[in-house]
Structures are given as C-alpha cells and as structure tokens.
Chains A and B, each alone.
Chain A
Amino acid sequence: MKRARFAETLQALAHGRVEFIVVGMAAGVLQGVPLTTLDIDIVHRRTPENVARLMTVLSELEAVYRDDPRNLSPSTSHLLGPGHQLLTTINGDLDCLGSVDGDKDYDDLLGFSRELLVGERAVVRVLELAMLLEVKRRAGRPKDLAVLPFLEATIDEIAKRG
C-alpha cells in the first residue's frame, strides 16, 4: 500500500450509489475517536444490484486482493457471500465484509448506523460508536480490546457535549 486516500475511497463508493456501512476503526475515527487505521472496512448490502454497483467502483479503484502475487480482482460471487474480501486499491486498502460480529449483515446493522457527510454530495453510513464498542467487545481479541478505552471515552465526551 502506497496511499491512504480514505476520503476518496468513501466518496467513490457514495457517488457510485453503493449501499454500505463503514465499520471498524474508520467508523470510530469518522466520529471522533483519536486513533488511526491503515484500512477502511465496509459491510456492503449483498443484493445483486448493489454488488454490481460495488463491482463497478472496485474496478475504477483497480481493487485486487492484498498480498496475492496474482493480482486477482474480486468476483461478484465473492462479494455476494458473507466472507471478508481484503483488497488493496489505488487509494489504499479496503476490506469488503459480507458480514461481521458473527453473521450480522448490512440489514442487521442498518438500524445501528448513522449518516455522515465526507465530501461534496458524499454521504456515507457509519456504525454508531455504541454498536462499534459492542462489536469490538464481543470480538475480544487483544487488538479489539485495546481500543475499548478510546471508544468509551469518546462516547462519554460526546454525551457531555449533549
């Protein structure tokens, strides 16, 4: 990965009318968590129409699988499934997740997401901090547990601001 143009990636997805929710620490950063991340994780809606729109944007971003010397591009069948497609693009790394937190998909997470503006006419959905905290807590891996104090403190600061 040579670039980390996260905003451009999200704007491309938004302008391509892809239905997705930003999850992972990028969702945290977008809502004020003072940490950093090396990739963008999204959960996309796994309908044929939406996956077709996602495929168009991924093609524009020249997405291929990370750490794969064959430079394979993701396929429609991969993106229709619940698995995790770990990709790299001209704008940096992008993980397209069919589901997270066990088997929660886009529709399961939609009610726990909110819209944010990330550029001109570019509105994206992000997982709310309270849900992100729960997902990280349930994941329970050291890397997930390490960020819990930052998520809790940010939720607390937002509550104080009213």
Chain B
Amino acid sequence: MPPEPISEERASLADDNGVDRSQIREMLRLTPEQRLTRIQDFVEAVLAIRELNEARPVR
C-alpha cells in the first residue's frame, strides 16, 4: 500500500531546508533541564534496544 501523501498543513511545518519548525517551537517551550531530559530518555531507550539486539543473530 503506498504511503499516505503528506497533507499541505503538515508539509508547511518544514522550512526550505526540510527542518520541522514545529519541533523547534516545542523545544523552545521547555526549560533547558527538560530539553536535556528529553534527549537523555531518547538516547537511553536507543541504548537499551541496542543492548537487547546485541545477543540476537543478524538475519
């Protein structure tokens, strides 16, 4: 099934370089400590997934 086309409203969130300005505005609403927490939660989740997959054979 082909992916759904991106709506004009969603597409307009990105600038000419493809940067999603809504993500910047969301980050700017947070405190510096909340911004750090957001990325450290993401990185730790990625590290946990990596660790889970280290023992799995590559298929």
- Measured CB to CB, the residues of A under 8 A from B are 1-7, 10, 26, 29-34, 36-38, 92, 116-119, 149-150, 152-154, 157-158, 161
- B: residues with CB less than 8 A from A are 15, 17-21, 23-28, 30-33, 35-37, 39-40, 42-44, 47, 51
Contact A10 B36 (CB under 8 A): yes
Chain B interface mostly helix, strand, loop or mixed? helix
B32 lies within 8 A of A38 (CB): no
Q: What CA separation (Å) do A29 and B26 show in the bound complex?
A: 12
Contact among A4, A33, A149 with B27 in the assembled complex (CB-CB below 8 Å)? A33
CA distance in complex: A126, B54 (Å): 35
> A2-B51, A117-B33 are contacts. A34–B24 as well, Cβ < 8 Å?
yes
Closest to A126 in B: B32
- Contacts A5-B40, A150-B19 aside, 17 further interface pairs with beta carbons under 8 A come to A3-B44, A4-B47, A7-B33, A30-B35, A32-B35, A33-B24, A34-B26, A36-B39, A36-B43, A92-B43, A117-B33, A149-B17, A149-B19, A153-B17, A153-B21, A157-B25, A161-B28
In the assembled complex, the CB of B40 is this many whole angstroms from the nearest CB of chain A, namely 5
Closest CB-CB distance, B33 to chain A, in whole Å?
Answer: 5
Contact of A7 among B20, B28, B40, B43 (CB under 8 A): B40
